[in-house]
Amino acid sequence: MLSSDLVRSVLDSAPDAMIIIDSSGTIVFANQQVVVLFNYTSAEIVGQPVEVLLPERFKYRHVAHRQGYTKNVRVRPMGIGLDLFARRKDGTEFPVEISLSPIWQEGEVLSAAAIRDVTERKRVEQELADTRAEADRANIAKSRFLATASHDLRQPLQILALLNGALQRLVSEPDALEALDQQDQAIGAMSRLLKALLDISKLESGAIQPEIKSFAVSTLFEQLQVEFAGLAASKGLEFKIDAATVHVRSDASLLGQMLRNLIANAIKYTRQGSVHLRCLHSHNSSSVRIEVLDTGIGIPANQLEFIYDEFFQVGVPTNSSRDGYGLGLSIVQRLAKLLNLCMEVRSEVGKGTAFSIELPLAKAVGAEEKAVQAPRRGAVDQTLPREHLLLVEDDPAVRKATRMLLKVEGYLVTPVASLSEALQAIQDNPAIDAVVTDYHLAGGETGIEVISAVREHLGTALRAILVTGDTSSTVQALSRDAHLRIASKPIKADELLSVLQALLTS
C-alpha cells in the first residue's frame, strides 16, 4: 500500500499542473506545478471553487459543464474543439489544455485535472498559419504574374520576330541582311529563355496540371521525328527512332515536352555519331521504358548530381559564353515529378549519355489516344496565289507587325481587333480563306470564340490559326481540330508562314 506522502511526492513531481476536485467543484488538492503556473500558494488554492482558475467570462458556463461531467464521468480531454483559457492570480490569461480523469474514493467521485500551458505551441501554430497564409498570397501573386507574363512578356518578342521576318523579305543589301540575321538569332535566344523561365515558374506554382490518358508511343515518336530530323541532319548526326507498338498512360503533351528537351540536349552535346530515341517493352512487364541515347561528350561522374540544377551546363565555366541556358533538364526533372515518373541517367565521358523514363503500360486503349496528333508541315510555295486572311489581334503593335509580314508575303489581310469587328468584316466580305487570331483578346474575349462565331456565320469549318502563349489543357485539346493549328508565342515569322501555308494546302 502506497503512503499518502509518496503519492503526494509523485504528483508534485509531475510535469503538468494537477488539481483534484470533489463533486461540489471544490479544489481538494493542488500539486507544486499549480503553484508555479498560477502563482497561488497551495494554501490559497485548496478549498476554493475550481472556477477561481478561470477567466471571469467563463465561470458561469463552467459550473454547468462541471455538473454535466460528474453525471457522466470518464477519462477525456476537456473542451474538445474549443480554445480553453486559464487565469493566474494576477488576472493574466493563457491558453491551456486540460485532461480529466475520474477518481472513486469512499463512494464519492473526484475529478483529477491535468492542466498544461500551451502558450508556446499556440504561438508556433499561429506562426505556421501566418506563414501558410503568406505562402498562399505569394502563390496567388505568382499565378497572377504568370497569367500576365505569359501574354504581356511575349508580346514585345512577338512584334520583334514578325518585324524581323518582314524586313528580311524587304531588304536585299548584304550587310543589312546580316544584321537582321543576327537580330533574329538574338530574338530566338530571348524567346527560348523566356519560355524556359515561364515553364519553370508554372511548374513551381502548380499552374500546370497533367491530364492522364492512354496514347500510342509511335504517334508521339512520329511527331518528334518530324521536329528533330532536320536539326540532327544539320549537324551531320544520324537521328534514329525505334518505336514499340504499345500504348502508355501519361500526359502526352508533358511527356512530349520532356522528350523534346532531352533530344535537343542530346543533339546539342553530340559532335558526331547519332542520337537514338527508342521504346523498350517486354511482354511480361507492366511498364514501358523510353530512352534517349547519344554518342556525345558525356557527363563526368562528379557532375551527374548537378545536371538538374538551373543554369548548370556540362563543361561550361561560370560567366563564359553559353549556348543555351541550362534550364532544359531542370524542366525535365520537374515534369517527371509532376507525372510521377521514374527517370534515370547513365553516362560515360567521351562515349555518350542515356536518359530513360519508365511509364505505365496502358491496359485498354480508346478514342482518347487521338489526343496526340502529328503536326502537318509544309514548305512555303511562293508561286501559289495568296489567300484572303482575317487577322484578329487586340494589340495594335502586334496587329500591325503581323499584317505587314502577311502583306509582304502576298496575302490579302483584313485586320480587326475584336469579335464584333471580325463578324462585321465577314459580313462585308465573306470570301475569307482563313482566320489568324490571338487567343487572349480584350474584354475577356478569346480567339476560340472568334473562330467558332466566324465558322457559324459562314456555315463552314473555316481554317484557323490560334496564336497563344497559353499551355493549358483547354488549348491543348484544340489540337484535335483538323482545320485548326496552334502557334505558340513568340513565333518566328518563317514558322508562322510555314504553319499557315501547310494549313491552307492541307
Question: For 151-202, what is each residue's pLDDT tens digit?
Answer: 667 778 888 888 888 888 888 888 888 888 888 877 876 776 677 666 666 6
Is residue 415 within 8 A of residue 403, CB to CB? The reply is: yes
User: How would residue 419 be classed by pLDDT, with cut points 50, 70 and 90?
Assistant: very high
pLDDT above 90 covers a percentage of the chain that reads 31
Residues 6+ apart with CB under 8 A from 99: 75, 76, 77, 78, 113, 114
Q: Is the pLDDT of residue 375 over 50?
A: no
The string of pLDDT tens digits covering residues 297-318 is: 998 888 887 787 766 666 554 4
Q: Which of the four CATH numbers 1.10.1740.10, 3.30.1950.10, 1.10.3210.50, 3.30.450.20 does domain 4-117 have?
A: 3.30.450.20
Residue 83: Cβ within 10 Å count: 9
Q: Helix count (H) and strand count (E) of the chain?
A: 15, 18
Domains 213-371 and 388-504 share a fold: no
Per-residue pLDDT at 414: 94
pLDDT digits (tens, 9 = 90+) for 203-239: 766 667 788 889 999 988 988 888 888 889 989 999 9
Tens of pLDDT along 91-106? 999 999 988 888 887 7
- Pick from 143, 147, 166: which is nearest to 398 by CA? 166
Is CATH 1.10.260.40 correct for 213-371?
no
pLDDT of residue 83: 78
pLDDT (0 to 100) of residue 359: 93
CA 158, 159, 160, 162 torsion-angle sign: positive
Per residue in 321-369, pLDDT (tens digit) is 444 555 778 888 888 888 999 999 999 998 999 999 999 998 755 544 4
93-105 vs 108-117, strand pairing mode:
antiparallel
Place of cell 500546370: 208
Q: For the chain, which residues make up each domain, given as ranges?
A: 4-117, 129-205, 213-371, 388-504
Burial, 408: exposed, middle or buried (Cβ in 10 Å; 0-12, 13-18, 19+)?
Answer: middle
Per residue in 103-133, pLDDT (tens digit) is 887 777 788 889 999 999 989 988 998 888 8
* Helix, strand, coil share (%) of the chain residues, nearest 5: 45, 20, 30
Contact between residue 391 and residue 153 where contact means Cβ atoms under 8 Å apart: no
**Contact between 368 and 251 (Cβ < 8 Å):** no
d(CA 439, CA 204): 24
Quote the pTM value.
0.47
Cα angle vertex 399, ends 394, 403, to 5°?
Answer: 150
A 10 A CB-CB count for 235 gives 13
Distance, CA of 419 to CA of 414 (rounded, Å):
13
The third-level CATH classification (topology) of the domain covering 388-504 is Rossmann fold (3.40.50)
